[in-house]
């Protein structure tokens, strides 16, 4: 596999980082990569959020690139029983710190990217209101991961 810099394939999006605030709040050792506006809205003041207006699979690739930069996966990329290509939203927790490339993380993210393709794409078929539900579910999955992380 060739490792491209994350900026290689993607236009630069606004990276919403409120590092100062985060510093004030003590050192949370994770960031959240997300395409879920609800997550951005709820966490932007308190957490390191990398928000991208891209697809579910592209979020996985964004995470993949960061794993190759040395970040470690903290939450499961296929969290939730709502299938990829069904829900358009995905939020994933990554370690703030960089180190050696974590092989377990590489494997998990690669399997997750592969799994995406098994499902017929229908993320764009829903009524407006359904997207609120998708956002809420994704948020709650992330929230349950953060609850575990914040214990430390």
Partner 1 sequence: MAKLRVVHYINQFFAQIGGEEKADYPAELRVGEIVGPGQALTQQFGEDAEIVATIVCGDSYFNENLDKAKADILAMVKEQAPDVFVAGPAFNAGRYGVACGTIAAAVQEELGIPAVTGMYIENPGADMFKTKVYIVSTKNSAAGMRDAVKKLAPLTVKIGRGEAIGASSEEGYIPNGVRVNFFEKERGSQRAVKMLIKKLADKPFETEFPMPDFDRVDPNPAVKDLAHAKIALVTSGGIVPKGNPDHIESSSASHYGEYDIAGVMDLTEETYETAHGGYDPVYANEDSDRVLPVDVLRDMEKEGKIGELHHLFYTTTGNGTAVASSKAFAAEFSQKLKADGVDAVILTST
Partner 2 sequence: MRLEMGHIYIKDIQFAAESKIEDGILYVSEEAVRAVALEDEKIKSVSFDIAKPGESVRITPVKDVIEPRVKVEGRGGIFPGVIAKVDTVGEGKTYALKGMAVVTAGKIVGFQEGIIDMTGPGADYTPFSKTLNLVMVCEPVDDIKPHDYEKAVRFAGFRVAVYLGELARELTPDETKVYETCTIKEGMEKYPNLPRVAYVQMLQSQGLLHDTYVYGVDAKKIVPTIMSPTEVMDGAIVSGNCVSACDKNPTYVHLNNPVVHDMFEQHGKTFNFVCHIITNENVYLADKQRSSDWTAKLCKMLDLDGVIVSQEGFGNPDTDLIMNCKKIEAEGVKTVIITDEYAGRDGKSQSLADSDPAADAVVTGGNANQVIILPKLDKVIGTLDYVTKIAGASEETLREDGSLEVELQVLTGATNETGFNKLSAR
The contact set with partner 2 (CB under 8 A) reads 73-76, 78-84, 86-87, 93, 108, 111-112, 114-115, 117-120, 122, 125-127, 129-130, 132-134, 136-137, 140-145, 148-149
The partner in contact with residue 116, picked from partner 1, partner 2, none with C-beta cut-offs of 5 to 8 angstroms by kind, is none
**Minimum distance between the CB of residue 114 and partner 1, rounded to whole angstroms?**
11
State the Cα angle at 111 between 56 and 151, rounded to 5°.
Answer: 75
Rounded to whole angstroms, the Cα distance separating 148 from 30 reads: 12
C-alpha–C-alpha distance, residues 148 and 6, integer Å: 28
Q: Min. distance of Cβ 89 from partner 2 in angstroms?
A: 12
Q: How many alpha carbons fall within 13 Å on the CB side of residue 74?
A: 25
CB of 75 to partner 2, least distance (A): 5
Binding partner of residue 45 among partner 1, partner 2, none, CB cut-off 5 to 8 Å per kind: none
DSSP label at residue 2: -
């Amino acid at each position: 596999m060739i490792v491209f810099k994350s900026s290689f394939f993607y236009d630069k999006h606004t990276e919403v980082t409120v590092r100062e605030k985060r510093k004030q709040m003590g050192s949370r050792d994770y960031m959240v990569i997300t395409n879920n506006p609800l997550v951005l809205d709820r966490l932007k003041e308190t957490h390191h959020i990398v928000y991208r207006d891209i697809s579910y699979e592209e979020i996985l690739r964004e995470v993949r690139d960061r794993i190759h930069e040395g970040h470690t996966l903290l939450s499961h990329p296929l969290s939730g029983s709502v299938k990829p290509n069904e829900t358009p939203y995905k939020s994933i927790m990554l370690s703030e710190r960089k180190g050696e490339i974590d092989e377990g993380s590489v494997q998990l993210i690669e399997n997750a990217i592969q799994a995406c393709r098994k499902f017929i794409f229908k993320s764009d078929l829903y009524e407006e209101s359904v997207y609120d539900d998708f956002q809420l579910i994704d948020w709650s999955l992330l929230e349950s991961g953060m609850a575990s992380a914040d214990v430390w």
